[in-house]
Amino acid sequence: MLSYILASITAILFLVADQFSKYFVSKNLIEGQSYDFLPGLINITYIHNDGAAWGMLGGHTWLLLSITIVVMLAGIALLLKWGLKDKVIFWAAAFILAGGIGNMIDRVFNSGFVVDFLEFAFIDFPVFNIADCAIVIGAGLIMLSLVKSIIDEQRKKSRANVVEEPQEDNNGDI
């Protein structure tokens, strides 16, 4: 039970951190402005993103909101179907919901765009935000859970297929 409470609190903290950080960046930087946060590693670069990752589907707010709602419904379905049986799935769904809510709040209240501001300075990667991090963590946890399930299933099959061979006793007799 403690794990479920911690997952819920952590997801809420992700959502609060996401909204606070977006508010802070939008009030203290001009759109397009960049600040070396950790020089050579992470920049704070304030942009408005009206698309999804890499700006895909830019300007299609209603489609992106619809996709977000579908993903969030899938997160709720995960919680209802497996969440209380599998702690990892519960954590994953909680993170995906927190990230989805964070970005949906932006799209609804910011004329269809999300505030992105985290930029890796050492690679060419799209600018993102904390809600995106929560979604990626949730998706990663689902993949880990899936891999674990596959491994567990293979182990069960291997054990079921093992045929015990007769053992010799100390005299060489079977």
Q: 18, 50, 124, 132: which one is catalytic?
A: 132
Task: Give percent of the chain above pLDDT 90.
Answer: 59
- DSSP E strands: which ranges in 50-113? none
169 catalytic? Reply is: no
Q: 36, 116, 152, 173: which one is catalytic?
A: 116
**Helix (H/G/I), strand (E/B), else coil: 120:** strand
- The answer to whether the CB of 118 falls within 8 A of the CB of 129 is yes
132 catalytic? Reply is: yes
Average pLDDT (127-154) is 93
pLDDT at 81 > cutoff 90: no
Residue 105 burial class via C-beta count within 10 angstroms: exposed 0-12, middle 13-18, buried 19 and up:
middle
The whole-angstrom separation of Cα 64 and Cα 110 is 14
CA dihedral (41, 47, 48, 51) positive or negative = negative
pLDDT tier at 12, thresholds 50, 70, 90: very high
pLDDT at 77 > cutoff 70: yes
The angle subtended at Cα 75 by Cα 61 and Cα 82, nearest 5°, is 170
pLDDT at 69 > cutoff 70: yes
The whole-angstrom separation of Cα 65 and Cα 107 is 7
CA nearest to 137, candidates 11, 6, 9:
11
Least confident of 33-47, 69-83, 113-127: 69-83
Least confident of 8-12, 25-29, 34-38, 63-67: 63-67
Other C-beta atoms lying within 10 Å of the C-beta of residue 65: 15
Backbone angles phi, psi at 121, to 5 degrees: -80, -20
Backbone angles phi, psi at 52, to 5 degrees: -95, -155
Average pLDDT along the chain: 88
Least confident of 13-22, 28-37, 89-98, 152-161: 152-161
172 to each of 163, 165, 166, how far by Cα in Å? 21, 15, 12
pLDDT tier at 17, thresholds 50, 70, 90: very high
pTM of the model as a whole: 0.83
What are 158's two structure tokens? 């291997």
